[in-house]
Structure 1
């Protein structure tokens, strides 16, 4: 029972003459000297809408940060290679020059490099495959798994590949390091040729 209820009942008993005023004052003084008990606070239930909103906001913020990071990484990779010209197509997995174009980077890194026009690569090329059907000049090293040339190709550096196949004119100012070389056109190498298997039915210098 709360203190105010007890005091109210004491006042009623005093009014009815059941207790005298002295007793009433003594009891009242005793209760007044004690701290009033506070009612236990009801546990507040979190608002369900606010809780859901907070979770959604946090998830959205995290997703936004991840998307921003991914976009930044892709942007950095794309900015690492510059290109210009007509018919030049650049994506994350391939570089295609179907007309006349120049690509540059340090290195120029891709999965597939294709040239069917007049191309120039400024910087070392790193790719899985390189296919040339037109005229192409590499101003630095070429490091690929598969190199196929059916046009006129000049490499100012070294050519490193598992398989080299040329049916056009290939000039390498540096050396060639390959497991297999097959040439049915004109092959000119100013440096050394290191190959496990070498086949030629054309001109070799």
Structure 2
């Protein structure tokens, strides 16, 4: 086993998503994931406390990047413009592996109540990070919360469109997330 080869974390995520898709989340063991990734079980546990955490691999990084982008947005921009800056910053963490795994991950989540719960908690965490960054900019709490939730919706809608679209295209995630945010901005204006 290539336990010291680079990329173990990424290989574990890919192996887990493949196995969750092939045989279901509940039927997949940590030992199977480690074997498929070409690492030992102890290597698995150095990267993840359990198999549920594979779903949120990178959440801390995304939350940090979203918050940094919001914090660094120019002074005087609207809360949604600051969220757009956060989405642009976070898009740098979304590479070809994310795009490739998207549809399979979506299917695995749809088939497991436990993964649906973990995915919902991930969304809450991302929204909280954006809301806190907006409050730090002086945005009132309720406005920051709505903008943070719209940011999560834009991230999820943009990711779905990006990952399910033409994978041979060299377009990046940012364009999809920003287009989704613009759609949501227009939809929220229509609420009256």
Which has the larger helix fraction?
2
Greater relative contact order (Cα 8 A, min sep 6): structure 1 or 2?
2
Q: TM-score range by the shorter chain?
A: under 0.3
Highest CA radius of gyration, 1 or 2? 1
The alignment's TM-score, normalised by the length of structure 2, stands at 0.22
